[in-house]
Amino acid sequence: MGNYGRHYFRKYQICTVFFIILIIFLYNSPSPLSPLDDTTSSNDDNINDNINDSINDNNNNNFNNNNNNNNHTDLNNNNNITNEKIFEPVIIEEAIYFQNVTIQDSQVLNISGNYNLLIVISSPITEFKTRKLIREYLFDIKDNLKLCMKLDAEIYYKFLIQPHKKDDYQKSVLRDYASELIEYDDLIELQKGFQQNWQETMFEWILSLKDKHITYNHAVIFDVHSIINIEKIQQYLRDLKINVFDFTEDQSKNLVWGHFEDTKNSSMFAVLGEETISHILNYKNKIDHSDNVISQLYYYYQENPNESPLYFLNDNVAVFDWKYSEEIDPIHEEGDVIAITNIYSDDEMLNLFDRLNFPKFKVCRSRDLPIAVITSSYLYDDMCMLPATLEIANNKRTYALKHGYSFVGRSIEFNQQNTKKRKVVWGKIDAVEKVLPYYDWLLWMDMDAVIANSDITIESLLDKFTFMVEDFDDIDLIVARPSRDHMINAGVFLIRNTDWSKEFLKDVQLKQKYYKKKMYEQNAMWDLIREPEYKSKTLLLDRDDHTFNTFPKKYVPGDFVIHFAPDGCPAKPILDAFVKLKEYQNNPDMEISF
């Protein structure tokens, strides 16, 4: 072999070795699109080990697959359960206590649409404070200043709001609920539940998530008067071992784990496998459709074990009702509790959260978004905007999601204005002051201002503005004065997070003569931006009807924002506009006006 041939062969050997090492590395590395694990456990198994373990589990279990058609209602534990008791639903009378596992917060984003846990919380419309507690103590969501825009971690959660008739509630309840709808994108209304069993309605909603390409390994369902230990639930499911009972991957997919003593009480806690809900809905005609479908099926399958495709685990130890418990015994406080139900006092729930110290799970990875769209989520006393609340919020939120912005709705600052002896509209300045430190830029939009052209980005506007001034770095406030107005319109404006902006907002707050005078905060802003120290930092879009603040009669196709500011209620004009804008999107050749 010549020198060239030996050199080529040597390179071939090196490349071959490198290629083999690369294959081994990739084979043993988790797929970036696989479901996210919730811990960096030191005993993670590779793919071959998982396959072998599954084979061994199937070979070693005590189930007679041929005779029983794979329909098992038992969780397998070879040391404690004989073949004769294979079909009896398991009732835990004792527990093995595990040490807490520290969950590592990986920064890898979940883009697969598959979640380790789907958490569904049933709630009446009125439970505002309880939902707030659950957000904070389960998901570490204390407020909506930097709200998670996408659930891109290992948990997907929603509150399912029980059917309600708005006429049955006081104005204050409807107002607070409308604000919550705007501020938190985690409420789902299921009015269909009027016509059928509520649990069945929840199950059907869960199945519908597949249409949105959302899947899960296990679903945790409970009502808003309960607390759960997410870490412990995930640990048991990951280990395929709940207390003294081992189970297989196939059994895990059909798992029904909870406390099923009460068939009439609709309150519940249950952990369900990914295939369980389909089975429940297929077999619901076997029961009398009382409030608690799961408990009814539990007792039905106890009497008819050969029909059961599910694996029930009735847990009387780690799941218990608070109404029967004056104290938690010390062993529970060490971390064995999975769920406590029937906690009807917010103070008691807060006390239990503090005592048990369940780990909080972030539902999205921490990311700093540079731009936020901010709006009012406050409804005035006339409640005229109530019919349009959700669609207005979705209009802004969808736009923010499309371009990677945050969406922030604020009501608390507006609620405080009576105490400050100012008109409610001054809450806008308080809200901007509160939110501005968390972002580089804010786009303020009044509630009655809506996105008409979602293709226009805030960055493109900022780029446009750079050509309108000598040095755009010196500009911190951008606001328009419409062609026929004698002052600015503060219904839409951009403001940069700088020391200048913070001082500007403070000085706006000092304009006491406008606290109750017409045009209020808008007049205060107009006065200040004409003063030399503030004029130099303000880009006034003078006599501008189209850049980002367009009144309906001035609208031309392609305008960014339409600001509905009529003398009367803007709710109906806004809802009508959404219909027209959708028609225009589908037929760009049509004539459109407002």
- pLDDT digits 0-9 by tens, 530-547: 999 999 999 999 999 999
Length of the chain: 594
**Which whole number is the average pLDDT over 1-15?**
41
CATH of 114-325+333-356, one of 3.90.550, 3.30.530, 3.30.70, 1.10.10: 3.90.550
What integer is the mean pLDDT of 469-486?
Answer: 95
Burial class (CB in 10 A: 0-12, 13-18, 19+), 17: exposed
Q: How far apart are CA 556 and CA 415, in angstroms?
A: 36
pLDDT band at 307 (very low <50, low <70, confident <90, very high): confident
Span 219-244, average pLDDT: 93
Question: Helix/strand/coil (H, E, C) string of 448-513?
Answer: CEEECCCCCCHHHHHHHHHCCCCCHHHCCEEEEECCCCCCCEEEEEEEECCHHHHHHHHHHHCCHH
Is the pLDDT at 90 greater than 80? The verdict is no
Greater model confidence, 70 or 567: 567
pLDDT tens digits, one per residue of 132-183: 999 999 999 999 999 888 898 899 999 999 988 888 889 999 999 999 999 9
Tokens of 317: 């130890």
Torsion, Cα 390 393 394 395, to 10 degrees, reads 120
Write the pLDDT tens digit of every residue in 338-352.
999 989 999 999 999
- The CA–CA distances, whole Å, from 263 to 289, 312, 387 equal 10, 15, 38
Q: Which of 369, 500, 537, 375 is nearest to 439 (CA)?
A: 369
Bridge partner residues of 409 (DSSP): 375
Tokens representing residue 584 in the block: 């225009």
Can you tell me the distance from the alpha carbon of 371 to that of 400, in angstroms, rounded to the nearest whole number? 9
Highest mean pLDDT out of 162-171, 293-302, 455-464: 455-464
Q: How large is the average pLDDT for residues 369-386?
A: 95
Residue indicated by tokens 């009378």: 93
Mean pLDDT on 395-409? 96
From residue 91, alpha-carbon distances to 75, 153, 298, 438 in Å are: 10, 33, 11, 50
CA distances, 334 to each of 95, 320, 363 (Å): 13, 16, 25
Q: Where in the chain is the domain with CATH 3.90.550.10?
A: 371-586
CA 252 from chain center: how many Å? 25
CA end-to-end span of the chain, whole Å? 84
- Average the pLDDT over 468-495 and give the result: 96
Q: Which two tokens stand for residue 324?
A: 């029967």
| SS3 of 58-83 | HHHCCCCHHHHCCCCCCCCCCCCCCH
Tell me how crowded residue 120 is: count the other CB atoms within 10 A of its CB: 24
The answer to whether residues 414 and 526 touch, using CB atoms and an 8 Å cutoff, is no
Specify whether the CB–CB gap between 291 and 265 falls below 8 A: yes
The arithmetic mean of pLDDT across residues 558-571, rounded, is 91
Q: How far apart are the C-alpha atoms of 479 and 461, rounded to whole Å? A: 12
What pLDDT was estimated at residue 262?
67
- Cα–Cα separations (whole angstroms), residue 486 to 45, 260, 489, 494, 513: 71, 68, 9, 20, 19
Task: Read off the tokens for 17.
Answer: 């070795």
Record the tokens describing residue 540, joined without a space: 């006034």
pTM of the model: 0.80
Look up the CATH architecture of domain 371-586: Alpha-Beta Complex (3.90)
| 590 three-state secondary structure | coil
Q: What digits encode the pLDDT tens for the residues 37-46? A: 333 333 333 3
In 519-570, where does DSSP find H-type helix? Answer: 520-529, 532-535
C-alpha to C-alpha distance for 534 and 527, rounded to whole angstroms: 10
Across 226-381, where does the E strand assignment appear? Answer: 227-228, 241-242, 245-246, 255-258, 269-273, 311-315, 319-321, 339-341, 371-376
In whole angstroms, what is the distance from residue 541 CA to residue 531 CA?
Answer: 17
User: How far apart (Å, rounded) are the C-alpha atoms in residues 259 and 324?
Assistant: 14
Supply the DSSP symbol for 89.
P
pLDDT digits (tens, 9 = 90+) for 22-61: 444 444 444 333 222 333 333 333 323 332 333 233 333 3
**Beta-bridge mates of residue 538:** 477
Identify the CA nearest to 540 among candidates 587, 475, 586.
475
